[in-house]
Amino acid sequence: MAIAVERTSYSYREVAEMWGISLWIIRRLVDSGKLKSVNIGALQRIPKSEVQRVELQGIGTARTRKAK
């Protein structure tokens, strides 16, 4: 019997694919502080809560740029 484990973080590539943007844009968002990431050993991961926060706020999307 398999045990379901809830995801708590994603790789940069996974988030880029979920959002339909390039890996380069994810790196820019992290470097600018608009998207937070954590290091788990040698891996850089984006917490699930951070992905949800950015999705709700629409950071970096055309919608937020027009609102400014």
37 or 67, higher pLDDT: 37
User: Mind listing the domains of the chain with CATH numbers?
Assistant: 9-67 (1.10.1660)
Mean confidence (pLDDT) of the chain: 86
C-alpha distance from residue 15 to each of 26, 27, 54, 62 (Å)? 8, 11, 11, 18
pLDDT at 3: 87
Model confidence, pTM: 0.77
23 or 61, higher pLDDT: 23
Please state, for a pLDDT cut of 70, what percent of the chain lies above it: 85
Mean pLDDT of 7-25: 93
pLDDT at 15: 94
